[in-house]
Structure 1
Amino acid sequence: MKLFTVNAGFFKLDGGAMFGVVPKSIWQKTNPADENNLCTWAMRCLLVQDEDRLILIDNGIGYKQDERFLKHYYLHGDDSLEKSLAFHGFSKDDITDVFLTHLHFDHCGGSIERLEDGSLVPAFKNAVYWSNKAHWDWAVNPNDREKASFLKENILPIQESGKLKFIDTVDGIPFTQNIKIRFAFGHTESMMLPQISYKGKTILYMADMLPSVGHIPMPYVMSYDMFPMKTLNEKKKFFEEATQNGYVLYLEHDPVNECCTLQETEKGIRVKDTFKLTDIL
């Protein structure tokens, strides 16, 4: 098995929305905002080469949205999904599996590309796309609060292509010999977190359960979360498990830190170490 960090670029979101009830005077110490109260966030995906499969976990916003949409999110930086794959010696055509933690646009937008004739087709033409039925149904029939995050042009063409497969919503269900799937329900319905066994270590891909190191304290829950009390309870459960077992947490949105470990302190669970994925490979 081999693991590769795949950077799909940076974007911006409102700092207050990202930290919920936590005052700006506190959260800006770890995630400083610009003059418009926007903070920079990564779209850090993970590429897993596992035997004969090349698995891409999430894929960023993509580029098919129009300028009116993209201007709200200020895509910036020199990274792109294609450049990052090429850096590791791969192309989109090499991907065999696209694993979607959930279907919010900043996690799955790169799944579909728009051709010159306007048609929407899978960006990874040789890949199977993985979701779960509970989350899929939630996304294609969205509630009014979450509707802006579920874009039909990111989602429906996957199913229409015939390349969509569902994972059973069973916590700990195997995906490969080295990957099992954990489920979380606070951020959105049935978000999937890949848990990877690698050289005696456990690496947990955190998706939106832990956007950044700045979100480790328990009350730091995003306003984007549909069920914040569930998120709070899930954080406690997963963080205690990660602390006791020395898990490496892979951070999708932290603009600086790729990975971290946790420790118990007098103030509760806090960050222990931060490091790049290559430091443990």
Structure 2
Amino acid sequence: MNLYPINAGNFKLDGGAMFGVVPKVLWNKTNPADANNQIDIAARCLLIENGDRLLLIDSGMGDKQSEKFFSYYSLWGNDSLDASLQKNGFHRDDITDVFVTHLHFDHCGGVVQRNANKTGYELAFKNAKIWSNEEHWQWAIEPNDREKASFLKENIMPIQESGHLHFISRTHKTFQKNSELGFGVLFANGHTEKQMIPHIEYKEKTIVFMADLLPTAGHVPLPYVMGYDTRPLLTLDEKKLFLEKAATNGWYLFLEHDAHNEIITVQHTEKGVRLKEVFTSHEIFN
């Protein structure tokens, strides 16, 4: 097995929204805001090469939305999904599976692209199975008013129409080893219904793809919960349980949205679980 970080692009989000009730004077120390109160955000995906399978976890925003849409997110930098795949010796047509942690636009937007004549949509990964879970899919196609702006029909319905949509087999547990994918999946419900957090066993290490359970290293303290979360008190409980295990077991936390820290470990302290070390993907994957 080989692992590769795939940088699908960078954008900015409002710092207050990213840290909920935590005052700016605190979160600005770890995630400094610009003059518009926005902080740097990455769309860092993970590519797993395992035998004849090439599985991509999440896909970034994609590029099919309007200029007005992207203006809300202050895109920056030169990273793109295609360039990052090429840098590692791959093409999107090589991808056999795309695992979507959840269907918010910044995680699944890259799965669907406009067709050649701009009259409709098609899969950006023409040879890939697209993996979700049935409960989250239903949540996304019948969205609540709070999340409606994050569940975009043009990102979601073409997946179903393509015939490439697959749901992982799931028992009613918070965590399960998944034989279909070759890694474990933690189900978390605080951010959105049945978000999936992959746990990958790699070279005697456990690599956890954090998605929106832990967006950045600055979110490690328990009260630092995003304003975007639908059930913030549940996120608080899920984070506490997860971080206790991560600190005890020495897990490596792969941060999807932290533009400046790729992988971290955490440790137990008198103040609770806190950041321990920061690593680059190169240090851990090679």
| TM-score (norm: length of structure 2) | 0.96
1:277 equivalent in alignment to 2:281: yes
Matches of 1:119 and 1:155 in 2, distance apart? Answer: 13
Q: Which runs of 4+ in 1 moved over 6 A?
A: none
Whether contact under 8 Å (1:9, 1:78) holds in the other structure is yes
The 3-state SS of whatever aligns with 2:149 is helix
Indicate the residue corresponding to 1:38 in structure 2: 38
Percentage of matched positions with identical amino acids: 58
Indicate the residue corresponding to 1:266 in structure 2: 270
Indicate the residue corresponding to 1:25 in structure 2: 25
Indicate the residue corresponding to 2:256 in structure 1: 252
Matches of 2:152 and 2:242 in 1, distance apart? Answer: 29
1:161-172 matches, within 5 Å, as 161-170=162-171, 171-172=175-176
User: 1:163: how far off?
Assistant: 0.2
Q: Among 201, 204, 207, which residue is 1:203 paired with? A: 207
Whether contact under 8 Å (1:169, 1:183) holds in the other structure is no
> What is the letter of the counterpart of residue 66 of structure 2?
D
The 3-state SS of whatever aligns with 2:32 is coil
**Residues 215-273 of structure 1: per-residue CA shift (max 9 Å, x gap):** 00000000000011110000011101111110000000001000000101111100100
Indicate the residue corresponding to 1:238 in structure 2: 242
User: 1:177: how far off?
Assistant: 7.0
Matches of 2:78 and 2:179 in 1, distance apart? Answer: 32
Whether contact under 8 Å (2:168, 2:180) holds in the other structure is no
Whether contact under 8 Å (2:264, 2:277) holds in the other structure is yes
Indicate the residue corresponding to 2:123 in structure 1: 122
> What is the letter of the counterpart of residue 228 of structure 2?
Y
Matches of 2:114 and 2:66 in 1, distance apart? Answer: 11
**Residues 68-116 of structure 1: per-residue CA shift (max 9 Å, x gap):** 1111011110100000000000000000000000000000000000022
**Could you tell which deviates more after superposition, 250-259 or 169-178?**
169-178
Matches of 1:41 and 1:252 in 2, distance apart? Answer: 9
> What is the letter of the counterpart of residue 192 of structure 2?
T
**Could you tell which deviates more after superposition, 71-80 or 123-132?**
71-80
Question: Aligned residue pairs: how many?
Answer: 281
1:100 equivalent in alignment to 2:100: yes
Indicate the residue corresponding to 2:151 in structure 1: 150
Q: Give structure 2 stretches of 5+ with no counterpart.
A: none
Matches of 2:250 and 2:107 in 1, distance apart? Answer: 26
Whether contact under 8 Å (1:105, 1:149) holds in the other structure is yes
**Could you tell which deviates more after superposition, 160-169 or 210-219?**
160-169
> What is the letter of the counterpart of residue 135 of structure 1?
H
